[in-house]
Amino acid sequence: MKIVIIKGSPHKNGSSNMLADQFIKGAEEKGHKIIELDAAHMDIHPCIGCDYCGMNGECSQKDDIANIRDALLSSDMAVFVTPVYYFGMSAQLKMVIDRFYSYTMKLSSKHIKTALITAAWDSNDDVMPYIAEHYKKLCRYMHFKDMGMVLGTGCGTPSMTAGSIHMEEAYRLGRSV
Ligand SMILES: Cc1cc2nc3c(=O)[nH]c(=O)nc-3n(C[C@H](O)[C@H](O)[C@H](O)COP(=O)(O)O)c2cc1C
């Protein structure tokens, strides 16, 4: 499979990207082709709701979202990678999701596989349900086939993450797809 990894953390070597690296290691061992796109360091702007695209056409904004769109439309699987910010995804990743708007039909008709990888500081039960529900709803709406989630509680810094069980979990998810 061709798998596109979409990263939404401002920390290039931060916790969510560490977990993503473990997923990539597992997936590459299984022979999958990985494309990494660091959305947090690309020129991407929020959807401005102008409706120029009519939800199925050219976007009025010319930025790096075209690279992400092309990668998603030519991949078998997407992995969304994000730190938890106020119980949701980062704004950097949310911009990517909102910009699906101009190619929602094209993308949803592909029925691609997806996964979610997140990192949060806290380790209690009330950190991850909200981002997980949002992701699951997105999967239902976009006809994505969810392959799994790595909900990295207690992953507040790279050293916390390095010692967490979620590293192995992310690796196993990569091996399993
Ligand atoms: C703006 C902001 C909001 C945050 N919100 C939460 C939160 O709601 N729950 C939590 O446990 N950690 C929260 N954190 C901590 C980060 O999720 C955590 O440090 C994570 O490891 C960062 O991942 P990264 O290194 O991949 O960017 C927040 C951090 C920032 C900067």
pLDDT per residue as tens digits for the range 45-87: 999 999 999 999 999 999 999 999 999 999 999 999 999 999 9
Report CA(92)–ligand 1 centroid distance (Å): 13
Under DSSP, is residue 68 helix (H, G, I), strand (E, B) or coil? helix
Q: For the chain, what is the mean pLDDT?
A: 98
Q: 136 Cβ partners below 8 Å, 6+ apart?
A: 146
Stretch 24-53: mean pLDDT: 98
d(CA 8, CA 82): 5
- Residue among 87, 121, 157 to mutate when testing ligand 1 (max atoms within 8 A of CB): 121
Under DSSP, is residue 156 helix (H, G, I), strand (E, B) or coil? coil
Domain that holds residue 167: 2-176
* Residue 94 Cα distances to 8, 51, 83, 155, 159, angstroms: 8, 18, 11, 20, 26
Measuring from each residue's beta carbon to the nearest atom of ligand 1, which residues come in under 6 Å? 9, 11, 14-17, 83-87, 119-122, 127, 155-156
> Tokens 């473990």 label which residue?
22
Backbone conformation region of residue 148, classed left if phi is above 0, alpha if psi is from -120 to 50, else beta? left
- Residue among 84, 126, 155, 167 to mutate when testing ligand 1 (max atoms within 8 A of CB): 84
Residue nearest to atom 5 of ligand 1 (CA): 85
Neighbours of 139 (CB within 10 A): 17
> Tokens 């010319």 label which residue?
62
> Tokens 């959807």 label which residue?
47
Closest ligand 1 atom number to CA of residue 11: 27
Report which secondary-structure segment, H or E, holds 176.
Answer: helix 166-176
DSSP state letter for 2: E
Report CA(16)–ligand 1 centroid distance (Å): 10
Tell me the whole-structure pTM to 2 decimals. 0.98
Number of separate domains in the chain: 1
Stretch 117-124: mean pLDDT: 98
Report which secondary-structure segment, H or E, holds 33.
Answer: strand 33-38
pLDDT band at 24 (very low <50, low <70, confident <90, very high): very high
Under DSSP, is residue 95 helix (H, G, I), strand (E, B) or coil? helix
Report CA(121)–ligand 1 centroid distance (Å): 6
CATH number of the CATH domain containing 104 = 3.40.50.360
d(CA 138, CA 93): 13
- The pLDDT of residue 165 is 98
Closest ligand 1 atom number to CA of residue 14: 25
